Structure 1
Amino acid sequence: MTQAFDVVVVGAGMVGAALATGLGRDGLNVAMVDRAPAPDFDPAAAPDIRVSALSAGSERYLRTLGAWPHILDMRATPYQRLAVWDETRHPLATLIPRTLTEVEFDAAALGASHLGHIVENSVTQQALWQTAGAESLVTVIAGQSVSTLEQTRQTVTLTLQNGQALEAKLVIGADGAQSRIRDLAGIGVARNQYNQQAMVISVRYQGPVENVTWQGFHPTGPRAFLPLHSAGPDHPGESWGSLVWYDAPEELARLKALPSEQLMAEIRKAFPSELPSLTHIDACASFPIARQHARHYFAGRVVLAGDSAHTINPLAGQGVNLGFQDAQCLQAMVKEARRAGDDLADPTWLGKYEQQRRPANRRMMMTMDLFYHLFSNRIPPVHLLRNLGLGAARALPFARNRVARYAMGIDEELPVIVKQLAARLPGIDQL
C-alpha cells in the first residue's frame, strides 16, 4: 500500500525536523522519515558530546516553530562574549604582543543580550521532534531508511527498508553529509578534505558557568572552549564544558588512546591559561572535517537542505545555523508555490531557493577557509599578516561588529574586504 503526502522529509536531524514542523504548520501533509528513533533526554545525564553554537537568527527561527521553549526546558547556555587570538610561537610574535591582537566580540557592543547559545545537538533535535510530533499533518516514520527513489513527471516515490512506499510531490533530502537521497537523485558534490581532524572533549571544570567562548589559533589548528550548564548538586561548584582540539589525525589518535589522567595533563599543557581548572573528562571523540558543496541543490522533485547540500569547516560552529537558514528559505518557497497554485517541485521556486542559499552558503565557506589558510601555517609573513589583521579588528570595532552581526544572523552580507580576501583562496572557484 502506498501512502501519499505533499512532502517527504528524509532525515530528522535538526534541519529535517525543523522543515517537517514548519511545512506541517503551513498546512502541508508531511512525512518525516529517519532511520533512527527519537533522541532521548535525561536531565541527570552528562551532556551530549556534540554541541552547536546556535545564533540569534536560529533562535528566532526555532521560536517561530515552537521549539525554543522545549530547548530551554531542557538546557541551553547563553554566551555574551566570544574571544579569538593567535597562539603561534614565532620570533615575529614578539613584535606584536597578544594583548594587542586578541579580539573579543561582546553582545553589549551589538546592542544584544547575548551572542548565541551553546546547545547539545540532541537537545535541539529532541525539541524539534516534539514540535513535529505535535503537528496533526506531520507523520513521523522512525527506524526506517530509504531503499529506492523513483521520479515521474507528476510524483516521486520512495520505498523504505520495510517495503513501505511513500508518494509525494516533493522529497527533501536532509539526511546529512553522506546523503543517500542526494546519491539516489544523482546529484554530485565538490569535496575538499582538510588535513586536520577535530576532537571534542566533554569536561567538568571548577567554577560557575562561564559566559564566554573562545578559540586560540595554533598552526596545527584551533583549540576552543565552549561553556555548558551547571553540573548540578552531584558536583557542587562545578560546571560542564566542551573542548575542541584540531590537529593531525595521528596526533588525535594518540591523545584519544591515553588514560584520562594523561589526557588531562596533555590538555593543561596544550590549552592556554584561560582554560578553567578541569576536574573530570567524561568523553571524547574525533571526526574528519571537510568542505563539501552539492553541484546542484535540486534535481527534479528532490531538493537538498543542510549538510546534504553543504558542509563547512566547523571553526565557528556555523554549520547548523546555515542549515536552519536553508530550512527557512525552502519552507518559504514551498509555501509560495502552494499559495500560487504551482507544483511544489516547480523549478522556478526551487531555483529561487538555490539562488538565495548557494551564494550565502558559499560566502560562509569562504570565510571559514580564510581563517583556516591564515592560521594553519608558520610562514613568517603570513604570521605577521594575521596578527596585523587581528590587531586591525581590535582597532576597528565597526568592521569587527559587522562580522559578528553576520555570524549571528542579524546582517545578511559580510564586509566587502572579507569577501574579497576569501575569494582569493585556492579551490573556491569549484564551490
Structure 2
Amino acid sequence: MNQFDCVVVGGGMVGAASALSLAELGLKVAIIEKSAPAIFSPEQDFDLRVSAISLASEQLLKQLGAWQQLKQWRMCAYKRLGVWEFEQSYTEFNAQDINQTHLGHIVENRLIQLALWQKLQQHSNITLLCPETLINIEQSPTDVKLTLSSETINAKVVIGADGANSFVRKLANIGTTGWDYAQSAMLINVQTEKPQQDITWQQFYPTGPLAMLPMPGNFASLVWYHDKDEIKRLSALSNGNLAQEILQNFPARLGNVEVINKAAFPLTRRHANQYQKGRILLIGDAAHTINPMAGQGVNLGFKDVKALQHVIAKAIGNGESWHEPKVLASYQQKRRTDNLLMMTTMDALYLSFGHVSPLVKLARNAGLMMVNTVPSLKNKALAYACGI
C-alpha cells in the first residue's frame, strides 16, 4: 500500500497549487484527478472560464514556477477597475494609486491549471494519479486510508480540492450552509471593434451587473447577470442575435462586438461548516463558493493554499508533528473568518444593487461618489482586494 504525507483530491487550479506548495516543503504528495487538462496551442479560441488573478495570486504562481509559462502563453494585464450605476457615480480604481504597475491579469482557468500541471509532472515529490477516482475515505487516529478505483493508498493528511460538489466533503460528513441566487450568469467571449483596453469594468442594474474583462488583442470576456428565465432566453439566441442584444444592453463604451462563444451557469453560495475534520481539510470551492461578481473565487482559493503552506511550514520549523489535527486546526482559524467576511461583503453588495427603492439607490450612488472623495479609503479597499 502506497504511503504519502498528503493526498490532494482534485487537480484543478487550487488543488494543483496546493500539491506543489506542500511538495516544496519536502512532503511526499499524491494528487488524484479524473482527467488531465487539454494541451495549449496559440490558435485555440479563448476558453470561457477565466479568472481575474490578483497580485497576491500572481506572487503565489510565481513562487510555484507557473507564472513564467503563463506569460509565454497568453494573459491580459489590467491597470484600472471601473464600477458605476449612473455615470455621475462612476468610480475608478487605478494601480498607480497603490504604487503598482497593474491590478491583476485576466487568465484562462485551463491555462493556469495546465501551467501548474507542467510543474507537477516535473516534481520528484509528487505522484500524479490520473485518471483516477476516489471511492471512499476511512480515518483512523494516525492516518487516512483512501480507496481509489484501482488501488488503496494511505496518507497522513487528505486535502479536498474537488470543487463545489466535493465528494471529500460528503465522505467526511461536513455540512454546508448556503443558497441558490435568483439569478444566473452568462459568459460571452467576443471579438471587439475597439483595441484591447487596460481596464475591467462593471455597471450595475437592478437585474444584475454587466461586466467586461479584457483579453489579449481585440477580444474580451463579457459577464451578463440576469434572472434565470432571461439568461435562458439569451442562451437560446444565435451568436448574431446575441451580439445585437449586447449592443442594446451593454454600455456604449464596449463598441461593436462579434460573439465567439457563450455559456450560462446558475449562481450559488455554499460555505462548509468546517474546513477541517480530523486529518481531512477542505480548500477552494470545496470549502466555499462565492458570488462571482467581484471575481474573487480563485483568489480566495489561492489564499487557502498559502495559509495551509504557512501552517505546515511553521509546524515543521518548530519540530511539531505537522499532521496532527490540533496543528491543522490553525488552517481553519486562519481562513474561515476571512472567507466568510468576503462572502458576506459580496452578498451585501449583491443585495444592495438589486434593491429598487429610490432611497437605497440614492444611498448606494452617494456611497460610490463618496469613495472618490476619500482616496485613503478607496486605496485601502483596493489594496485589500489585490491581496497586498
Partner SS, residue 169 of structure 1: strand
Aligned match of 2:154 in 131, 147, 167? 167
Partner SS, residue 218 of structure 1: coil
Aligned match of 1:149 in 103, 127, 137? 137
Check whether the contact 1:62–1:68 (CA below 8 A) recurs between aligned residues.
yes
Shift of residue 49, structure 1, vs aligned partner: 0.3
**Which AA in structure 1 matches 2:201?**
W
User: Aligned pair 1:120/2:108, yes or no?
Assistant: yes
**Alignment partners' CA distance in 2, 1:113 and 1:181:** 40
Partner SS, residue 230 of structure 2: helix
Check whether the contact 1:39–1:125 (CA below 8 A) recurs between aligned residues.
no
1:18-417 equivalences under 5 Å are: 18-87=17-86, 98-99=87-88, 101-162=89-150, 164-230=151-217, 239-278=218-257, 280-410=258-388
**Alignment partners' CA distance in 2, 1:40 and 1:185:** 34
Shift of residue 336, structure 1, vs aligned partner: 2.6
Shift of residue 254, structure 1, vs aligned partner: 0.4
Bigger CA drift: 250-259 or 37-46? 37-46
Query: 1:14-58, CA deviations, whole angstroms, 9 ceiling, x for partnerless residues?
Result: 111001111111100000111112332121111110000000011
Q: Which residue of structure 1 aligns with residue 14 of structure 2?
A: 15
**Alignment partners' CA distance in 2, 1:366 and 1:109:** 26
Q: Which residue of structure 2 aligns with residue 416 of structure 1?
A: none
**Which AA in structure 2 matches 1:320?**
V
**Alignment partners' CA distance in 1, 2:147 and 2:84:** 51
Bigger CA drift: 343-352 or 32-41? 343-352
Check whether the contact 1:226–1:243 (CA below 8 A) recurs between aligned residues.
yes
Check whether the contact 2:190–2:220 (CA below 8 A) recurs between aligned residues.
yes
Partner SS, residue 274 of structure 1: helix
Check whether the contact 2:98–2:379 (CA below 8 A) recurs between aligned residues.
yes
Query: 1:216-251, CA deviations, whole angstroms, 9 ceiling, x for partnerless residues?
Result: 001010000000012xxxxxxxx1110000011110
- How big is the alpha-carbon RMSD for the aligned residues of Structure 1 and Structure 2? 1.1
**Which AA in structure 2 matches 1:158?**
L
**Alignment partners' CA distance in 1, 2:255 and 2:215:** 13
**Alignment partners' CA distance in 1, 2:355 and 2:254:** 24
Check whether the contact 1:107–1:113 (CA below 8 A) recurs between aligned residues.
yes
Q: TM-score, normalised on structure 1?
A: 0.88
**Which AA in structure 2 matches 1:174?**
A
Shift of residue 341, structure 1, vs aligned partner: 4.0
Query: 1:103-162, CA deviations, whole angstroms, 9 ceiling, x for partnerless residues?
Result: 000111111100000000011111111111111000111121201111111110111123
Shift of residue 315, structure 1, vs aligned partner: 0.7
Partner SS, residue 307 of structure 1: helix
**Alignment partners' CA distance in 2, 1:337 and 1:181:** 25
**Alignment partners' CA distance in 1, 2:37 and 2:82:** 35
**Which AA in structure 2 matches 1:324?**
F
Check whether the contact 1:307–1:323 (CA below 8 A) recurs between aligned residues.
yes
**Which AA in structure 2 matches 1:226?**
L
**Which AA in structure 1 matches 2:320?**
D
Shift of residue 259, structure 1, vs aligned partner: 1.0
Corresponding pairs, count: 388
Partner SS, residue 254 of structure 2: coil
Check whether the contact 1:174–1:308 (CA below 8 A) recurs between aligned residues.
yes
**Alignment partners' CA distance in 2, 1:105 and 1:336:** 36
Check whether the contact 2:316–2:322 (CA below 8 A) recurs between aligned residues.
yes
**Which AA in structure 1 matches 2:270?**
Q
Partner SS, residue 52 of structure 1: strand
Check whether the contact 1:38–1:142 (CA below 8 A) recurs between aligned residues.
no
Check whether the contact 2:279–2:328 (CA below 8 A) recurs between aligned residues.
no
Q: TM-score, normalised on structure 2?
A: 0.98
Query: 1:188-222, CA deviations, whole angstroms, 9 ceiling, x for partnerless residues?
Result: 10112111111000111123221000000010100
Query: 1:72-107, CA deviations, whole angstroms, 9 ceiling, x for partnerless residues?
Result: 1111100000000015xxxxxxxxxx23x1000011
**Alignment partners' CA distance in 1, 2:324 and 2:250:** 52
**Alignment partners' CA distance in 1, 2:319 and 2:152:** 26
**Which AA in structure 2 matches 1:315?**
M
Check whether the contact 1:209–1:229 (CA below 8 A) recurs between aligned residues.
yes
Bigger CA drift: 327-336 or 8-17? 327-336
Check whether the contact 1:169–1:343 (CA below 8 A) recurs between aligned residues.
no
**Alignment partners' CA distance in 1, 2:125 and 2:167:** 25
**Alignment partners' CA distance in 2, 1:83 and 1:249:** 26
Gaps of 5+ in 1: 88-97, 231-238, 411-431
Check whether the contact 1:169–1:344 (CA below 8 A) recurs between aligned residues.
no
**Alignment partners' CA distance in 2, 1:393 and 1:292:** 30
**Alignment partners' CA distance in 1, 2:97 and 2:142:** 52
Partner SS, residue 170 of structure 1: strand
**Alignment partners' CA distance in 1, 2:62 and 2:77:** 15
**Alignment partners' CA distance in 2, 1:128 and 1:35:** 16
Check whether the contact 1:300–1:345 (CA below 8 A) recurs between aligned residues.
no
**Alignment partners' CA distance in 1, 2:325 and 2:9:** 20
